[in-house]
Amino acid sequence: MSPAPGLPGVERGYIIPIGGAEDHVEKPVVLERFARLCGGAEAVVIIIPTASRRKEAGARYVQTFERLGVGEAVSIPLRKRADCQRTNYLDALGRATGIFLTGGSQLRLSTILGGTPIARRIRRRNAEGVHIAGTSAGAAIMPEHMIAAGKSGPTPRPAMVTLAPGLGLTNSLIIDQHFRQRDRLGRLLAAVSYNPFLIGVGLDEDTALFLGPDGVFEVVGSGVVTVVDPSALQHSSMSSAQLTDPVTLIGLTLHILTRGARYNTVTRQASLR
């Protein structure tokens, strides 16, 4: 699943994956920045709570964004695939200046939204300049390739990660969330070693990257973003390893990026503010 084709003279919207557990009240720097980017008092933020089984998930984010001063915040309850055909929900996305995917289960998101008019509309709206943010599961589903499940631990092993198709808002990254808090380095390394074309991104909680249309992202929030760049990979034992064997990876580049640091996904270069 690839991003929707760009439009002449129109910049794509930002893609903002968040590592989960973002601050809503005391220092909501990630959500504040997203709200400003979407237009502040003129913003229309559409919330998609599909990943969560909690009925209050959408309402909670409506309250948060209203408190942050957006012009309008609306939750659309896409609970089954038939909901993704409804014209009123598609029309709501057509009015959006920002779209927000809540946390929960990324497989709920992919099995309910995947291949539907709603998924196509989200990709098209991003190509038209609308900013898309997602937290936890909502972050994991953003790329073409999604980490659907896996095990914790620092050492990559083939059985540590299960992959599935994502939304396709970017085809250069693969994203893991709650990264340091849930010890997910091994499964991100395993995901990257399955296809070393992808840049692995591990997002700590209360931490996001703001990926612009130029392919450069900035780190925002209280934690760190771990970047695994396999472009100079010299050797991988993934193809010969048994499911529970550790995998040898030689030549990876690892970056640990804190607030304000930047990374160019095109040139594969990290930089300070």
CA–CA dist 143, 152 (Å, integer): 21
CA–CA dist 273, 18 (Å, integer): 20
**For residue 4, what pLDDT is reported?**
83
CATH number, span 15-263: 3.40.50.880
Give 270's DSSP letter. Answer: E
26-85 residue pLDDT tens: 999 999 999 999 999 999 999 999 999 998 999 999 999 999 999 999 999 999 999 999
When the pLDDT of each residue in the chain is averaged and rounded to a whole number, the result is: 97
Q: Which two tokens stand for residue 261?
A: 């640091």
Q: Tell me which H or E stretch contains 15.
A: strand 15-18
What mean pLDDT do residues 119-126 have?
98
Facing residues of 202 across strands? 176, 226
Work out the angle between the directed axes of helices 106-113 and 117-127 (0-180°, nearest 10).
Answer: 100
222-254 residue pLDDT tens: 999 999 999 999 999 999 999 999 999 999 999
Confidence of residue 1 (pLDDT cuts 50, 70, 90): low
CA–CA dist 260, 224 (Å, integer): 10
Confidence of residue 16 (pLDDT cuts 50, 70, 90): very high
Decide: residue 199, CB within 10 A, 0-12 exposed, 13-18 middle, 19+ buried.
buried
Report whether pLDDT(2) > 80: no
Report whether pLDDT(107) > 90: yes
How remote is the C-alpha of 213 from its chain's centroid?
Answer: 15
Residues annotated as part of the active site: 136, 178, 205
Confidence of residue 184 (pLDDT cuts 50, 70, 90): very high
What is the percentage of the chain residues whose pLDDT exceeds 90? 96
- The pTM assigned to this predicted structure is 0.97
